[in-house]
Amino acid sequence: MHDRRLSRPSTLWWLLLLAALALGAGIGLRDPSPPDEPRFVLAAKQMVESGQWLVPHRGSELYAHKPPPFMWLQAIAYTVVRDWRVAFLLPSLLAGLGTLWLVHDLARRLWNRRVAMYAGFALLACLQFGLQAKRGQIDMVLVFWTTLSLWGLSRHLLRGPDWAALALGGFAAGIGTVTKGVGFLPLLVLLPWWLARRRDPAAIAGSYRNWRWLWLAVGFLAGAGVWLLPMLLAVVGTTDAALHQYASEILFKQTATRYAHAWHHVKPSWYYLQVIATLWLPGALLLPWLAPAWWRRIRRGDARTTLLVGWAVLVFVFFSASPGKREVYIFPALPALCVAAAPLLAGLLRRPGVRRTLLGYVLAMSAGMLALGISGLSGARWVSKVAADRSLDAMSVHGLLVWVCVVGTAGLLLFFWGLRTRGRQSRAAVVAVAFNLVLWTVYGLGLAPALDASSSARELMQDVRARIGPDAGLGLVGWREQHLLQATGPTREFGFERDIRGQWHDAVTWLAAAPAQRWLFALKESVGDCVDPARTIDLGRSSRRDWVLIPGTAYLAGCIPPLPREPIDAEPRDPD
């Protein structure tokens, strides 16, 4: 793509159209899959069915691990499209497209349209962006709010004063905070702004002494108050102990305690270097050229680079300081770094080393996927192990491997197409972006649907219902969210976060009341006293665990298992 074409306003629509086609490919072809998707859809589905939207539920229990705004979006999407397979992915898709627009517009305002297009396509080319835009998780929506906040704050700090943009930045940070607790992070951009202002007061507009800075706080409180205010009013106005415990859990344990003393996802301090080196490909490969160039611009007093790169570094440091780490935590920094990299990309792409690096990335990914697919289709031993672990049948495995070969072949064709015209500076970048578009299109249309029946537990729960009949009662013990979500017919659960023995006690009591009409679906290791083990039905492995089906006729008459004296979990219950 020539620079003259990059300057045309219509290329923004090409960016959004290509992104919509690739990121939207496959919507409606799969069900929610672990780890996070089923629990959010389950909560959203219960909101729609119960009409109670203020506090989310997971089965019969309050779900206090995440605030409800993301689940609101899924529930609203369902009320529009009336199909959960479509609705649960719509918020992430729209948030991804919105984030692309914000990145493009911010780069245009800070530099020009040519730089804006480099910024947009740079973000679209990164693996983590596409991965999150195609998942029904909170993080893509969170990144939209953090990017919108950064967009508003940057407009004020770098091109202002723009008090409306400042208020919008605060509002987006507030909504981001009640979407996921770290949504306030864009406010940290004030620190690099202050440092840049000290070095060159004329480089940044606005005065920190102006009383209108209060609009930032007003906007933040208004955004956070969208959910926080009605929730607190509901808590103050009730004597319900469960609701008070919910408020304490989500406001304290799931924020400060979770950050300072994480009990899940404990990783070493260097963990995010690994994330950058893999999920931020191919952009991470350009860091040896980008980092020195950023440093030179910062030393020259470039406020734009100082703010964007400085904020991304603060995000990296903030999450590295916590023992609990997940790859999505540093995702909000990626759009800002793409904007900061954009003015440098045209020059970098003139370098043979940079072009060879991007083409080498496509070659390595394509050749690896093609080799993997051919190896699997040839009957390699690892295929049977993977199939058994994920409960995949032969047809699903074959389809999966064929699609992997399709991606590999398409990538190699793109690589050789790029080699033929290696003298054109933008061709390597086009190949890298095109490969990513092919990858996410094939993932949506082929790879994810091939895994769907087993990973979503749809096949397992259909098998369970077929075994017990349409009218039989089914009790769940040690269940995961996908099991309750996919269950059909009369279903009963006995808590999710309760210890397994407590669930088993209540389940057996329930089973004993009508043994001829009731069955238990249970985690195999949770099965305790009061049933005949010879009459249990082994359902095999799903979600990396073993499950059994217990008919009511297996109940030993008159037996009631004891309640546990101390809570004992069979596994960590909610590592989201």
DSSP string, 92-155: HHHHHHHHHHHHHHHHHHHS-HHHHHHHHHHHHHSHHHHHHHTS-SHHHHHHHHHHHHHHHHHH
Please tell me the predicted confidence (pLDDT) of residue 421.
Answer: 61
Say yes or no: 165 and 288 in one domain.
yes
Angle between helices 427-442 and 113-125 (to 10 degrees): 40
Say yes or no: 417 and 511 in one domain.
no
Please tell me the predicted confidence (pLDDT) of residue 208.
Answer: 54
pTM of the model: 0.93
The span from the CA of 146 to the CA of 170, in Å, is 10
Domain boundary at 410, 439, 455, which? 455
Q: 500 near 477, Cβ under 8 Å?
A: yes
Say yes or no: 377 and 488 in one domain.
no
Place of tokens 């537990």: 457
User: Is 69 part of a structural domain of the chain?
Assistant: no
Residue 573 is given by DSSP the state -
User: Is 569 part of a structural domain of the chain?
Assistant: no
Q: Which phi and psi angles does 210 have, rounded to 5°?
A: -70, 130
- With 0-12 / 13-18 / 19 or more C-beta atoms within 10 angstroms meaning exposed / middle / buried, residue 241 is exposed
Place of tokens 């959960």: 84
Domain count, the chain: 3
The span from the CA of 41 to the CA of 32, in Å, is 7
Say yes or no: 275 and 168 in one domain.
yes
Residue 562 is given by DSSP the state P
Say yes or no: 284 and 391 in one domain.
no
- Computed on alpha carbons and rounded to an integer, the radius of gyration of the chain in Å comes to 26
Nearest Cα residue to 392 out of 541, 249, 502, 536: 541
Token pair for 478:
């040690």
Say yes or no: 307 and 365 in one domain.
no
User: Is 261 part of a structural domain of the chain?
Assistant: yes
Say yes or no: 171 and 279 in one domain.
yes
Say yes or no: 109 and 185 in one domain.
yes
Averaged pLDDT in 10-residue chunks for the chain of 576 residues: 48 95 97 95 97 95 95 98 97 98 97 96 97 97 98 93 96 97 95 80 57 94 96 92 91 75 79 96 97 96 94 96 92 98 95 94 97 92 84 87 96 92 69 96 95 92 96 97 97 94 94 95 93 93 90 92 62 46
Amino acid symbol at 403 = W
Q: 559 near 504, Cβ under 8 Å?
A: no
Q: How far apart are the first and last CA of the chain?
A: 41
Q: Which residues contact 416 (CB under 8 A, 6 or more apart)?
A: none
β partners of residue 522: 477, 548
User: Is 114 part of a structural domain of the chain?
Assistant: yes
Nearest Cα residue to 189 out of 149, 229, 144: 149
Other C-beta atoms closer than 10 Å to the C-beta of 570 total: 15
Nearest Cα residue to 160 out of 211, 215, 204, 210: 204
The span from the CA of 331 to the CA of 325, in Å, is 12
The span from the CA of 540 to the CA of 390, in Å, is 10
User: Is 238 part of a structural domain of the chain?
Assistant: yes
The span from the CA of 335 to the CA of 314, in Å, is 14
Q: 187 near 172, Cβ under 8 Å?
A: no
Say yes or no: 430 and 501 in one domain.
no
Please tell me the predicted confidence (pLDDT) of residue 5.
Answer: 46
Q: Which residues contact 436 (CB under 8 A, 6 or more apart)?
A: 22, 124, 125, 126, 127, 130
The span from the CA of 143 to the CA of 149, in Å, is 10
Say yes or no: 281 and 418 in one domain.
no
* Domain span including residue 93: 89-348
Say yes or no: 283 and 339 in one domain.
yes
User: Is 259 part of a structural domain of the chain?
Assistant: yes
The span from the CA of 481 to the CA of 457, in Å, is 10
Please tell me the predicted confidence (pLDDT) of residue 563.
Answer: 81
Say yes or no: 264 and 410 in one domain.
no
User: Is 328 part of a structural domain of the chain?
Assistant: yes
Domain boundary at 285, 320, 348, which? 348
Please tell me the predicted confidence (pLDDT) of residue 430.
Answer: 94
541 membership: H or E segment, kind and range: strand 537-542
Please tell me the predicted confidence (pLDDT) of residue 1.
Answer: 40
User: Is 74 part of a structural domain of the chain?
Assistant: no
Q: Using H for helix, E for strand and C for coil, what is the string for 64-93?
A: CCCCCHHHHHHHHHHHHHCCHHHHCCHHHH
Domain boundary at 409, 424, 455, which? 455
Please tell me the predicted confidence (pLDDT) of residue 3.
Answer: 44
Please tell me the predicted confidence (pLDDT) of residue 544.
Answer: 82
